[in-house]
Structure formats: C-alpha cells, structure tokens
Structure 1
C-alpha cells in the first residue's frame, strides 16, 4: 500500500509541477524522494551549512525545501551565506525569519529552472533560453577573467559550477540575484537616456515597452495572458550630442519632422526612427550573432515597416549597419541590459535608418512573436519529451488558413523535438517545425520578413517523413504568383531533411512578401524554413 501511495503521488507531481512551484505551500513536505545513497538538491545544500545555511532557511521559509528534494530535474542557482546576508541588509531585514513567505517563495523560484539540467557547457553570453519558475529569462555574462568572472544577471558571480545532485544541477553564487521587475521603459527612465525616452513617449512606444503581459482569450473564450518580448537599441544623450542633437527639437530638425506633427503615425519620420531601434523579439548579444551557416551577416526586421538593421562580425565583435564601402559601423557600448520584457543594448551612434545590401534571408515559419508568446517550450533545445502546441485560428494573426472542412481540428501544430528524435531535432532549424493538415484544397498564408530589393533564388527546407506512399503534396504561391505547382513533402525510404529550389524571383522594392501554401492532397505537411539567396 505504501508503494502504491508513492506511485500515485509521483504521477500526480508530473502533472502538476508548475502549479506546485507557483504555490507558497511545500506540497512535498512528507513525500520527499532520495535515490540510493546520493543526495538531492535541498539535502545537498543542508549538508553544507558553512556555505548554504541561510539559503536553506530561505527554502524552508518559502515552503519549497522538500519540493527541491523530489525525483525530477532542476537547475538551481544557490547563493552562499555571505550573499544572503548582503541581500537581507539591502532589504533592511535582520534575518530570513523577517521575510514574508510569499517573497521567499518568489525569490527561490526566480533562482530555479524546472525540468532542465543546464550545465556550464551550455552557458553563453546572454539569455538562458529555458525560463525559470517565475517565467523569466536569466542572463549569463562573461567578463574578462575566465571562469572566475562569469555573472548571473550581471550582479551575482558564479563561484562554483555543475554540482551534481540526484535531481539536477546546482550552480553556486556569491550573491542573491534580485528578481527582475524593470521593463525596458523602466531601464530607459535614466537621465543618460532622457532624449531617447522623450522620443519613445512622443511616438507612443513607451507604453509598448512598459507592457509585460497582453490580455487575450483562448479558443473557448477564456481570458489568457500572452507575453511579448522586445529588443531595444538605446542611444544616450552623450551620443546624440556628438551629432549636434541636444534637445528633442534638435532631433526633430535632424529628421526633418515638423514640430507638432502626428508623431504616432507610422509614416511619420520620428515614428519610423524610434521604431527602427526596436525589434519584436528578445535577442541577446549572443542571439544577434547567430548567423545562418557560413554567413557573417544578417538583416533583422525592425518595428519600422520594411526597415532593416544589418548585424555583422567586426574585428572587435558584432557591429551594426556597416557601410560596405567605408567600413564604418555602429558599435555596442553596453549589451544585455536585462529587462522583464526583453533586453536593451546601448549603441555608440544615433542610428538613423539604413538600407543594407542583399544578404541571404532565412525565413523560419515558426519565427513570429505570437508563436513565441503562445508556446511554453519555444525553441527549447533541452527537452526531455516531445512538445506539441496545437493552434486555433483566433490565437494567431501572423498566420491565417482555410481548412477543409472549416471545422477541421489540429490544422496547425508547432512541434519542438527532443535530442533523441534524430533528424527532427538535429536536422531542423532551432529544433522546431510546423506540422500542417489543411485537408484537400486547404491553404495557409503568412508574411515573410522584409527582404532587400533584388534577385534571389528561393528554396524550401523541410523534414521529410517516411511514408508508404508519396503524400503531403502542396503548391507555393508568392505574391499571387505560382512559383512551384506541385511538391511532394513525404518520401518512401526514411526520415530525412530535404531541400527543393522553388524559383528565382526579382523583388523591385524592399518590403515583405506574401506566401500561400496550397494543400493538394490534404495530407500532412512538415515545414521548416524558406531561404532566399542573392543572385549577383
């Protein structure tokens, strides 16, 4: 009977882990799990009081001590005693006992990434992709000094890595990481950015950058919260001054914008200028440097319609908007200023609009803000089990479709694969792809990123599933022109990644483009990305 009881509790845990982590009560107070003679996370910390006694007190105050002993997987960042003492002092608290249970609970969850073991080898400069238990990204920063100078969120130095417990990994910190609450707008509310902030306020973008959650509804009409994240390239007053811009009126004159015009209009030059400094996704410094294979530059779409930022490799690291003739480029002054709703990078130029040259463009079908906002395991590279998210039409604005019949279920599925899934993991870009079942004669449609005018070869890359017969037959229509009338996506031999050149196109202007995919046989379509390669 006792064994059955523990089995039921364990299964119940698997279904409810996030609910438990959000609770202020330790649900596993009487049901902790220790494998063999080894040690789970909380017990390890308690067995080392000379380093972690105060953090153990925080775990117990939060009613999460026993939660960190259960048989699951965590990455836990544990501050040493001296760091906890410094944290308490900043709060004017005499001891851990003076903390509220709610504050302690949130603090522990901020230092905890459930379901994943993230070791030192997976760290890179920038955001950790896996969200912590408060639904936030933590940021790793590498400073000069090697392993002795790696920081979490820019404030807590690592003093130990990869301490293996039976239910995960512990990384030891010199200090407590203060839970991040500042938005991008909050970070820019600094005297050094006052002119840039005034431009944000005048155009209405400050409100966007102050938002953490957007209210919406699910397929059943129930209220839901969607979380969008952004990247801002901030300009300081000192940088503006180098170009003779010391007041808001100077900026308007520089942009040739009439004072008192409608700055909120997308066509207004000030609005376009401000929007040009914003991306609709969170991209850390390391993310900005993730170029397509064999390429050293990429053009990123901004919130300014059809305006692109060029990111390339320079002699001292990444740079923006390099002039291919003069070789002058914008440099970063500060990177990875972490925010609750994204990240800020400070640049050394006032950064007016810039028309980059043609580059190869990879249009990944899953690369839309509303996809990321609705997917809890978006592009997660360390999944222990396959992840699927089935979309309903009212959840998305970036992709529309008409299925046959209209009431067809499971039309569009986002799939992120685990490393054990072979080509579905190693062969797809960012470990994910779409699985589409539109029914015979159904279609789906979406907008491409902005592409610089010019001639391109267009090719499709997709994971081709093994099938007893040729299925998943579709056609491709770009900007209302049929560019490929019949393509078979499945094959009869083995699972593999396939590539097919669809067409050569010549775009007369720099803009986005509309792609419609027609399902000819109604069978499964597996879609990863389309690549546009310049033709000189």
Structure 2
C-alpha cells in the first residue's frame, strides 16, 4: 500500500519535477506549541537555514535521496525530528552517526514522516490524520497533559515542539522523537501482549489468528480486542473456560461454531481507526451477515449501543487511549466490556456518495472552495458508470459556507441516454430488513429524470432533480415523499423518496441510476439515505459538517 500511495504522489508531480524525480528511489488547557511562519522557498531550504536544529535530518534526506524531492514544488506536511531526536534514535540503534544507518530502513521511516497535503495543527483530531503517509500507514495525534500543559502527541511516540512552520511547499511540524513504522501484524501485536492471552488463544483455536497474521496488497483487518480483565469479570479465567462457555460444537475451528462466530464478530475486513468507526453507523464483521454498530457519545466510543423497541441496550466502551494501534496489516482497538452477536434490527445509513476511497486521499477532500476534480470511467472501485461521449464524474466542494450539501461536497454527473447511461454505487453495509430510500440532491434545471434500481430491482418513483422543494408543513410533505434532509441552510437541496426496499442479507449492495432522457443538464447528487421503514423518516437531519440533529 505504501508504494502505491507514494507512486500516486509522484505521478501527480511528474511534469513539474521530472529533472528532480529522476534521482529518486521511491516511486482541558489550551495546547502549548510554538507556531512559526517563514519565507523560505521550500522544506529543504528551511532545514538548511536552520542546520543547528536539522543537520542530522538533512544527512538522512540526502542518504535516502529525498532531499531533492523536498526542494521541489509540492504540497506536503512533514513531521521533522530535530538533531536531539535523531541522536536518541541513533543511541537506540547502537549507532554513532547517520552514516551507519541502513538506507532502506531510513527510506521507510522518512516516508512515515511525510504526507502529501498541508495539514495544520488546527485540523488535528484525537485520532488519525485525514491523509495517509507516503509509507501507507496512518499517523495518529492526540493531546496529552504534561507538567500542567497540553502537548500534541504523534503516534504516541513524539511531541510536537514547534508547529505550523509554513514554507513554499507545505507545512513543517518539529518533533522531539523519530517516528517508528509499525512492524507487527495485528496477530503479532495481540500475541506479544500477555493481557490479551485468552483472546489470542481463542483466535488460534479458531484459525483466525493465521488470517490476522497475513500481509499483502489489499489485506487489512480491524480487531476489537478484549483483555483478560474483561473475561475475568465474566468469571472466565482462561481459554478453556471461554471455550466451555461459547463453543457449542466443541470444535472452535468449525465456522458454524459459536466461539468461532464470537471471535469473528470482533474482526472487520478493513483497516478502520476510531475516526472511521464513528463516522459510519454499522460495520460488517467476519461473522457472516453480522454487523456491529458504533457511535460517539460525548467523548465515548461505544460498540453496539442501540435503542430497540424503546429500550436502550448499553454498548461496550472502547478504551480510546489504548486503541488506534497501527499494525502492518490493520489496526487494533481495545474494548473494555464484552460484546457478542445478537439479533440485529435494521439501522439507518446516511450514505455520502462523495466519500469514496479515491476521493478521500485528495487534498481537496471536504475542503470548501477547492477546485473540482474530474474522474473518467474506471476511476472508482465502488462506482461503476458507462455511456457515450466520454462520461465523467466530478467531485465538487461547496463554494461558500452557505452551500447546501452534507460535508460541503457532492458528485456532479450528467446522467442521460447520450452521456452517462447508468451510474451504479456500491452501498455501505446495510442490515437485512425493510428500508425507505431517499435521494438527496441540489435542484438544477434542464436535467433528465432518473430511474432508481436497488440490486437491479426497479424502485417505483423516478427522481427529477429539476423540481424545487415546494415549501409547506414538513410532515405533510414527508407523506408525499419530499423532505429537507439538511438541518442548517438547505437552500435548494432536498430529498425525494425513491421507494421501499427489502435487504435480504446484511452487507453491501448496489444502487443504480439510469437517465431517462437526452438532455444537456447535469445531476448534483449529495447523499442516499436508507432509513428503516418503521423509524422516523425526517429526523435526525444532518448538518453540513456531518453532525446529526435530532428533533
């Protein structure tokens, strides 16, 4: 993954940097940090001007042949270790100079310190940064109190000691330690921690341990681990007691065995940090047709806290400080309470169609007023479209704070017989059940009406984006299949009901749009809402920043 991320970054700069890149080898209290600006042309120039702080870093950049890269045009963020930080690193390695370090290892380490975007500390959150590093591993940040002052901690390894140093090709954050890449698989991380010995033994008995010890392109897992203390509160002191409680066949390796299913229910087939968990309401697990739900409640991240039939089912608390542990093949979280498979009722899903992996890596992602990005056919993993006259999909962010789009962005596509004949999305995971499907868009004139299909089954209502929100009593309009889905300043954006669907199996599905006429108009598609038919179809609404607003 790291090589592909870096290759994309390199390709984006190849025209302007061809002479340079030919030399490269790799295709509570207010936070206390120093903030600086500079007129230096680029990062390398800043490091050279401040060699008293960064002479060792310069040597590493030269040794890894990255110096020329940082001397050129671009838009980067670098976590820059000081001379003192590198001295500590050398001591840990048993070396006395940079020359004694392995060049290939240092290339990996430097890539972990570099992101292709300008990310100031004002956008840092308690969790992963929105962009992945050039190594292909995420950096996590968080505030920690030290001597009465709050400091920004990076990967739980380093402190930011000088932030937001703006140079011609990006932002530098000075740090007091060298960041170390993940070196263990999720399985190895669990095995190396004796506090997870019962959980690890169960993974080995089910065969899931070997799966979590696998690495390769596209192989990513998220594990919600339970420490021995969680099981001990249940009266389970060792693996044999766990097996006796959960294994109904006596063979945990049997994929129908309840212990196997229980352990598989703690694993997601993707790499999801806490920030990813709380931005979606449900997540598919390795247990067939079973999902977990997640929510952010104040500062707490909770698994499977839901209200069914008016009764609150308390969730399992995630230990935020002990979670977001990056592995070479995923991420490990710590859950402080036991949770297990239970009968799952349908859960509402607000599908932001612009939140695609290929868009998420862009510097423009959810940045208001950024230039449009145009994607030709074949650009997306989870969006299929075809047609004539070279159809495209454009990613567009709202031009101003009053733009009526969730997350201030949308997809622009001309769906008609003579351009994009059809556009098909792969949905997020949907729990099996009955849902009403709402198409959320911004009104635009001269555009073709759309026929909507779910898993190739036609829905009864066409969607005509020429139509304005008619105004009137909200609940009366809702009965007609019309609603405002945005809580703040919706403008000309609204949603219309396409129909009611039956989701037969829990998982990801297909929703398709087909243009019914030849027109020159375009479609501005913002969101698709799947709301269980027995739940309120109007609330919660969503604010432009993604916050849910309840009635």
TM range (shorter): 0.7 to 0.9
Counterpart for residue 380 of structure 1? 365
Superposed CA deviations along residues 212-236 of structure 1, whole A, max 9, x for unmatched, are 433xxxxxxxxxxxx3543221112
Counterpart for residue 235 of structure 1? 226
Counterpart for residue 329 of structure 1? 315
Instruction: From the superposition, tell whether residues 475 and 241 of structure 1 become closer, same or farther in structure 2 (CA, over 3 Å).
Output: same
Instruction: From the superposition, tell whether residues 11 and 213 of structure 1 become closer, same or farther in structure 2 (CA, over 3 Å).
Output: closer
Q: Give the Cα–Cα distance (whole angstroms) in 1 for the partners of residues 389 and 248 of structure 2.
A: 50
- Equivalent residue of 1:53, what SS? helix
Superposed CA deviations along residues 473-527 of structure 1, whole A, max 9, x for unmatched, are 321234665433422346799x964421223557798776654434423776554
Match of 2:244 among 232, 235, 253: 253
Q: Give the Cα–Cα distance (whole angstroms) in 2 for the partners of residues 508 and 24 of structure 1.
A: 46
Superposed CA deviations along residues 141-173 of structure 1, whole A, max 9, x for unmatched, are 222358733211110111111112222111010
- Equivalent residue of 2:460, what SS? strand
Q: CA deviation at 1:287?
A: 3.3
Gaps of 5+ in 2: 1-11, 28-37, 470-490, 536-551
Q: Give the Cα–Cα distance (whole angstroms) in 2 for the partners of residues 452 and 244 of structure 1.
A: 32
Superposed CA deviations along residues 324-383 of structure 1, whole A, max 9, x for unmatched, are 54664311232211223332110112321134565432134466xxx6389854983459
1:460 aligns with 2:443: no
- Equivalent residue of 1:252, what SS? helix
Q: Give the Cα–Cα distance (whole angstroms) in 2 for the partners of residues 183 and 23 of structure 1.
A: 26
- Answer yes or no: is the 8 Å Cα contact 1:423–1:497 preserved in 2: no
Q: CA deviation at 1:314?
A: 4.1
1:340 aligns with 2:328: yes
- Answer yes or no: is the 8 Å Cα contact 1:230–1:278 preserved in 2: yes
Counterpart for residue 350 of structure 1? 338
Instruction: Report 1:113-132 matches (<5 A).
Output: 113-114=115-116, 116-132=117-133
- Answer yes or no: is the 8 Å Cα contact 1:412–1:437 preserved in 2: no
Q: CA deviation at 1:126?
A: 1.3
Q: Give the Cα–Cα distance (whole angstroms) in 1 for the partners of residues 389 and 209 of structure 2.
A: 39
Q: CA deviation at 1:124?
A: 0.6
Counterpart for residue 476 of structure 2? none
- Answer yes or no: is the 8 Å Cα contact 1:460–1:499 preserved in 2: yes
Instruction: Report 1:403-414 matches (<5 A).
Output: 413=393
The normalised TM-score by structure 1 is 0.75
Counterpart for residue 106 of structure 1? 108
Counterpart for residue 3 of structure 1? none
- Answer yes or no: is the 8 Å Cα contact 1:82–1:174 preserved in 2: yes
Counterpart for residue 52 of structure 1? 54
Counterpart for residue 283 of structure 2? 300
Q: Give the Cα–Cα distance (whole angstroms) in 2 for the partners of residues 249 and 432 of structure 1.
A: 52
Match of 1:83 among 58, 82, 85: 85
Superposed CA deviations along residues 187-238 of structure 1, whole A, max 9, x for unmatched, are 2222322332343344444454344433xxxxxxxxxxxx354322111233
1:517 aligns with 2:513: yes
Superposed CA deviations along residues 167-191 of structure 1, whole A, max 9, x for unmatched, are 2111010100012333322322223
Gaps of 5+ in 1: 1-9, 26-35, 215-226, 292-297
Instruction: From the superposition, tell whether residues 246 and 492 of structure 1 become closer, same or farther in structure 2 (CA, over 3 Å).
Output: closer
Q: CA deviation at 1:42?
A: 1.8
Instruction: From the superposition, tell whether residues 437 and 278 of structure 1 become closer, same or farther in structure 2 (CA, over 3 Å).
Output: farther
The normalised TM-score by structure 2 is 0.73
Superposed CA deviations along residues 363-419 of structure 1, whole A, max 9, x for unmatched, are 34466xxx63898549834596543444549x85x6667x56xxx686675x444x5
Q: Give the Cα–Cα distance (whole angstroms) in 1 for the partners of residues 402 and 417 of structure 2.
A: 23
- Answer yes or no: is the 8 Å Cα contact 2:78–2:114 preserved in 1: yes
